[in-house]
Each structure stands twice: as structure tokens, then as C-alpha cells.
Amino acid sequence: MKKIKFISLIIIAFSVIAMLPPEKGWRNLFNGQNLKGWDTYIAPPIDDEGKLLSSKPVGLNNDPQKVFSVIRVDGENVIRISGQQWGAIITKNKYSNFHLQLKFKWGNLLWGQKRGKKMDSGILYFSTGANGADAGAWMRSQEFQVEQGNCGDYWGVAGAAEDIPANKINDSNYVFNPNGKMINFSASSSNGRHCLKRGDNEYPAGTWNTLDLYCMGDTSIHVVNGKVMMVLYHSAKVINGHTVPLTRGKIQIQSEGAEIYYKDIRIEPIIVIPKTLMK
């Protein structure tokens, strides 16, 4: 009888802990010194013109060209992503119900097929599964696009899916509209896996921009320099034709052919998305 009561007390204790609100306060994901707390992953290597050099990925935590490094910019240490190879830095931890904030600004270098095009990167959240599932470089995830003129767009990566209120603007493009029709975006959807953000709020090249990503349950919000670009609902992944929720995962920051700098990367747990962002 005592043993049963003891086990019951343990179950009750764990139930109480599970019901407690998450710990408050920001946690820095970049320590300002090195990439501790992150992994790196690099796709099969390409030369400076974008030609594939090998079918084998450079792989996990192997970065001979220093695609990912910490350097001094504007008097402070920042993460430099050269863009020379495709890949990502990846948090070792998984996250759900969070507010992520970081700052970025563009460098000057473009590589391979990105030469002459827009500077490109991205924040991939709810990242799960195998490295290299998309383009040989990224895990299945939801993308907060970071691209010149397109910061805040959505892309579903390697089978991820979202429902987004949007208007169709031509045969293949949709733009977020909070009063629009709810549309499903994924690689298996006839609507495609890309939705354009509303408006533009990116600062000129060479200027630091602040990105905020709010995720609560299966709802997410992309914010650029304080302006809501998009609200996304019903985050999911499609596996063998079946749709299942996607609400927890690692965070990836892309290297995608363009030099870019990131700093002040921090995260805090949340229990609700601010109502002012849902308008």
C-alpha cells in the first residue's frame, strides 16, 4: 500500500510540474564568442561557379572553408555565413512555444547560381528529421524567408505544410491577407509551397534588420523590423500522404549562396501570442 501511495505521489508531482508555466526570460543562442550550442551541416560541395564537385555531402560539423564563423563587425562579434556552400547552422536543442529574435545584415559576396540575383538566406524552424532532406542541405522545416525584398515570405521545406489566409495574385503566386481565404501550402498542394508576405519592411543593404518569430502551438507569426508580415496556421508535415502536426523542432539558419551576418540571437518561452500581432 505504501508503495502504491509513493508511486501516486510521484505521478502527481510530475503532473504538477507539467502544468507549470515555462521559465520566463530570454536565453541567448549566440554566446558572442563561438558557435557553441550549434551544429553545422554542409551539402555536397560546389565550386565558385555553382558546379557540383561531389555527390557526397561535406556533412555534419565539417566546415573546411569556414562557411560559418564568428568575426568582428561594427565593433562586435557576429556570426558570418559566407554563402560559399549551401547548408546551415543548427541548434542542438529543439523548441516549441517560443519567441525568437535576431538581427541580420547583408554582406557583399554572392556565389554560384546566386550571382547576379538577390541576397538569400532563411530561418528554418520546427526542423526535424534527416539533414539534407531539402536540396541536400536542410532538414524538414518551416521557413521564415530572409531574402532581399522578400523577408517574411513562407516556404515549406521538405514536406512541411501551413494554412495561410491569402489572395491569389496570378497563376502561381499568393500573398498573405489576414482577411483572405485560408489556403494550404505544401509541396504536395496544388497551391505550391510558397506564400508571399504582406508589404515590405526590410531596411537598405548594409543596415541591421530585426526579425521576430512567434510560435505558439501550430500558429506562427513572421515579423520584420516590428511589422507583421504573415500569420501562419496549422503547422504540419506530410509523411506518406498523411498530415501530422509539426510544432517542435530545431532552428536552422541557412547558407544559400550569399554572405550574411547574424547577431543578438535569443529566444524566450511564451504561453500566448500577443493579441496585437494577430490583427
Residues in CB range of 145: below 8 A, 6 or more apart: 122, 151, 152, 153, 154, 155, 197
State how far the Cα of 29 lies from the Cα of 263, in Å rounded to an integer. Answer: 10
Alpha helices (H) in the chain, listed in sequence order: 2-19
State how far the Cα of 103 lies from the Cα of 139, in Å rounded to an integer. Answer: 22
Residues in CB range of 254: below 8 A, 6 or more apart: 81, 86, 87, 88, 120, 121, 122, 123, 124, 137, 138, 146
Q: What is the pTM of this model?
A: 0.90
Domains of the chain: 35-278 (2.60.120.560)
What is the structure's pLDDT at 23?
Answer: 57
How far CA 256 is from CA of 143, 173, 212, 217, 223, in Å, comes to: 13, 22, 21, 29, 21
At 62, list the grid cell.
565539417
Residue 166 CB neighbours (<10 A): 23
Cβ distance 42 to 86 under 8 Å?
yes
According to DSSP, the β-strands at 181-185 and 160-168 are antiparallel
- pLDDT tens for the chain, 279 residues long, are 444 444 343 333 334 334 444 557 999 999 999 999 999 999 999 999 999 999 999 999 999 999 999 999 999 999 999 999 999 999 999 999 999 999 999 999 999 999 999 999 999 999 999 999 999 999 999 999 999 999 999 999 999 999 999 999 998 899 999 999 999 999 999 999 999 999 999 999 999 999 999 999 999 999 999 999 999 999 999 888 889 999 999 999 999 999 999 999 999 999 999 988 987
Cβ distance 273 to 216 under 8 Å?
yes
What is the structure's pLDDT at 11?
Answer: 39
